[in-house]
Structure 1
Amino acid sequence: MSSAEGVTERQHPTGELERGIAAKVQQIRPSVQPSPMQGYEHVRGFGIYALPFDSGHVLALRVFPENDFAPYTTVWHRTPDGRWSIYVDGPRHDTACPRYYGTATDHVQSATITLDWIGPMELQVRMDDPELHLTVRMDAPLTATILNAIGARFPAKIWRVPGVASLFARVADTVFDIGDVTLIGTAPNGQRAILMPRQMYPIESAVATLDGDDLGEPTTSETNPTMGNVAFPARPMLAIGEAYFEILDRSEYDRTRAELNETSVSY
């Protein structure tokens, strides 16, 4: 992943000094450590929460420098007929997104994924196989700034209360028109999942080609994209935050952490 060096602050149209998303995500340093929530694994980082196109394709991006196992990046792709693939840039598939969502996918493979912040609010994503070229630009309207300030300071122990999470989801839908997203539910692989998108930014423009095919214009879906029982935003969004997934097999968890530690994986 590229650094945000050289990315400068800019004056947001609202009059607020906007450092941009690039500077914020660079503060999340690669770190392998146990989850702060007992009985759960965790991931912390950012990503394209969901990016629907008018062609019926959907893309997503997950960048998790901090988690229990090893830093990784994944690209998700859903075809117009509903088939999901996850592409993993990391040491192992079973310590990245397929660990939680794999049973709902039709295809999982390794890939090299490169990220370049070309501005405070503009990100380029490239992948080698399949060949993906994606450029997205985010917006930060005043309503988003206010909601994000609240979300960034919300204690995790309160967020995981179902009623509170549901309230936050309703407020986010009112502000962003993202539909009915899942913040607490069950991941396709069976773990109880607690998703905490603490800061969200609408994607105002996107250009994407996959193996040379233009995916079309970004759009708000009539229904929320889903993977298993987990619903993602209907509107193109980027999010910064964290997620927690129930540990179903403690011996497997400990063994996997030990294996990665023995190989001294670095990112």
Structure 2
Amino acid sequence: MKSIRAQVLEAEQNATLGTGDGERFSGYGVMGLPFSSGHVLAMRRFPVTSIGPGYTSVWLRQPTGAWTVYADAPPELSCARYFGAALEASVQSPVTVTWTGDAALTVAVADAALTWDLELEPTSISSAMTGMLTAMPESLLERKAFLGAMGAAAGPVLRAGKLGLTGSVPNGQGFRAKPRRLWFVARSSASLAGQDFGTPAPLRIQSRLGDFWIPQRGIFLIGASSYDTFDPARHLPATVRGTA
């Protein structure tokens, strides 16, 4: 059995854009992880996209509810393209992902003095879910009705609260999240400019960005996602709220 690190690095090296319409992404990341301080972190690493070069991003939610996305690509070519309307800020900055063990990694945004350590683990539930997901034809994961039903069923099974695998993002595009392999975050710690986030813990009220719900426990996955092709007549630009 390959280690989690080996599987992720293989996904990094062999990432390809799947079939289907719209703007497509392939890679891995942490769907989201809430902490006892009220902070929430998420990470995306897409080696390939259909809209530009690959990029890495970190999402940070403050206890006040304000979101910032740090990405090493411009906002119009990264997450703010879809989530900018709900963000307090979108910052272009180097983001690093360093594997420190077969199931451990550190994510860092040096410009923000943000450091995030994670340890991952498989469980019987995550392994069963991975087996099911890897066997599914890609065409099935393109169907919004199927993704909606799968997200509704998977949330309670994974003890992650609500999960939205399809719907609309804050900038108006429809999205489809297509996981293939997943693991749980067993342990994690993080700090921002010396402020410690405490321990992983569900929020009192689950957070979301549009129809994308942030899981109430840490889930690391390999997979793909796609969005409706940007249409300036129907969708908001990448600029964050409060900016021109």
Q: Same fold (TM over 0.5)?
A: yes
Aligned: 1:36 with 2:19: yes
1:11 corresponds to: none
Deviations 1:70-103 (A, max 9, x none): 110001100111000000113x221111111111
Counterpart CA distance in 2 for 1:196 and 1:248 is: 20
Deviations 1:33-56 (A, max 9, x none): 776212x01111111110100110
Superposed displacement of residue 222, structure 1: 3.6
Deviations 1:197-226 (A, max 9, x none): 222211111011111110111112343321
Aligned match for 1:79, one of 29, 47, 62: 62
Q: Given the superposition, is the C-alpha separation of residues 114 and 101 from structure 1 closer, same or farther in structure 2, using an over 3 Å criterion?
A: same
Higher relative contact order (CA 8 A, sep 6+): 2
2:107 corresponds to: 125
Counterpart CA distance in 2 for 1:163 and 1:60 is: 26
- Structure 2 matches for 1:192-207, cutoff 5 A? 192-207=174-189
Counterpart CA distance in 1 for 2:169 and 2:71 is: 18
- Partners of 1:51 and 1:58 within 8 A in 2: yes
Q: Given the superposition, is the C-alpha separation of residues 154 and 53 from structure 1 closer, same or farther in structure 2, using an over 3 Å criterion?
A: same
| Corresponding residue SS for 1:26 | helix
2:236 corresponds to: none
- Partners of 1:139 and 1:201 within 8 A in 2: yes
Aligned: 1:223 with 2:211: no
| Corresponding residue SS for 2:198 | coil
1:147 corresponds to: 129
Superposed displacement of residue 31, structure 1: 8.2
- Structure 2 matches for 1:162-241, cutoff 5 A? 162-241=144-223
Amino acid at match of 2:215: P
Superposed displacement of residue 30, structure 1: 6.2
Larger Rg: 1
1:258 corresponds to: none
Aligned: 1:27 with 2:24: no
Cα RMSD (Å):
1.9
Superposed displacement of residue 117, structure 1: 0.8
2:39 corresponds to: 57
Q: Given the superposition, is the C-alpha separation of residues 97 and 31 from structure 1 closer, same or farther in structure 2, using an over 3 Å criterion?
A: farther
Unaligned runs of 5+ in 2: 233-244
Deviations 1:142-193 (A, max 9, x none): 2211111111232232123233213322342233101111111011111110
Q: Given the superposition, is the C-alpha separation of residues 171 and 228 from structure 1 closer, same or farther in structure 2, using an over 3 Å criterion?
A: closer
Counterpart CA distance in 1 for 2:164 and 2:145 is: 12
Amino acid at match of 1:220: P
Amino acid at match of 1:20: S
Counterpart CA distance in 1 for 2:185 and 2:146 is: 26
TM-score scaled to structure 1, two decimals?
0.81
- Partners of 1:44 and 1:66 within 8 A in 2: yes
- Partners of 2:20 and 2:142 within 8 A in 1: no
Counterpart CA distance in 2 for 1:84 and 1:31 is: 31
**Count of paired positions:** 231
| Corresponding residue SS for 1:129 | helix
TM-score scaled to structure 2, two decimals?
0.88
Deviations 1:215-261 (A, max 9, x none): 111112343321133212111221211100000339xxxxxxxxxxx
Amino acid at match of 2:211: N
| Corresponding residue SS for 1:27 | helix
1:259 corresponds to: none
Counterpart CA distance in 1 for 2:128 and 2:15 is: 31
| Corresponding residue SS for 2:139 | helix
228-237 or 124-133, larger mean C-alpha shift: 228-237
Counterpart CA distance in 1 for 2:228 and 2:30 is: 23
- Partners of 1:31 and 1:66 within 8 A in 2: no
